[in-house]
Structure 1
Amino acid sequence: MKNYLLTKRILDLVFIIVFSPLIIIVIFISVFLIKCSSPIESSFFTQTRVGKNKKLFKIYKLRTMIQNENQGDQALTTAVEDKRITFVGKFLRKHRLDEVPQFLNVLKGEMSIVGPRPEQEKFVKKLSSEIPNYDLRHDVLPGITGLAQVEVGYTSDDKDEIKNKLKYDLKYINDISFVMDLKILLKSVSIIIFGSGSR
């Protein structure tokens, strides 16, 4: 796995270089749509997440919800039909476009394109004490997309659903390879284009 992780980092950077024009275009169009629907809202938000070896970092996202006046950051756990999600936000979430700014996190070495999704510190502390092997998720860099995301999609805070996603995260870590990353990327592209599998 160690040998592939170095190759994986190089592939991440090559991907960003090759697709940077498309990434920039998607962000600009998304920001334009957000501003059209919510002129006074910030188009981006950052939130502290737990990365590899439990190192904290700021994750970047496009805003998909009405900003809480008493809370600068958007909540992590959001129901699919949450009333705070804007019309544009529903589209961005369905096609996972709200995650596109995280390519900057990948560029900074805080994330990889494929890997377990990073969670908030308070959730990590709680789940680590309640679910065996939960901390193993932090043995690798977190990802913009991952096996759990393409197989399960958005879920609630139900512990059984979290355990199910953890099962996929651990399978990814144990079987990590170029072929697996490629399969996850292809499934992710399908979700981005068609919104399929975005549950």
Structure 2
Amino acid sequence: MSKKQAIISPSLLSANFLRLEEDLRLINQSEADWLHIDVMDGVFVPNISFGFPILEAIRPIIEKPLDVHLMIVEPMKFVRELAALKVDTMNVHYEVSPHLHRSIGAIKDAGMKAAVTLNPHVPVELLVDVLADLDMVLLMSVNPGFGGQKFIPQTIDKVQRLRRMIDERGLSTLIEVDGGVNASTGAALVEAGADVLVAGSYVFSHEDPKAAIRSLKALSRP
């Protein structure tokens, strides 16, 4: 049986914004599969990152699919803008989505893949009734808002539980994990059933970012 190789999505949040074009071209030349983009509003999370001017500026440069994670109070306001930028995956938080089924449908109708994020305290079982509609679930393995945080070990159990939920239903929904991902935690996550690893500090603080990406890309599971 062939093994399933991890999908790697480096996080723009940890890039050097004084040399952003250089870092983006490095990602283009690397074995990374996607580019993860965290949009923060300073309300839903205690930090402000960047908004649409940055997305518009990087769109002509980056050659990887865009994995956009909206850590904002009203993500559905921006469906059209993201679709116009040819974003591949739009990722909204469960905690700010009172009409989640409708939101998933709107994202897909706009031509994007639909993903939902769960903060560390939110159980995966809450997604049971929309799991079949989702392209991906993002599990936060740190409390969102800042890069460079320590990995929360209980995430491994959450990945295992979500993996069982997906496999028991014969679904193809991907499991993505973001926060404190490095070669060690990445290996444990992939073994537990994760499909996609978001890595920020581990990649961009590494003396050889391409080698860091390559080390994660080498991870696989049956």
| TM-score after normalising by structure 1 | 0.30
Higher helix share: 1
| TM-score after normalising by structure 2 | 0.28
Higher strand share: 2
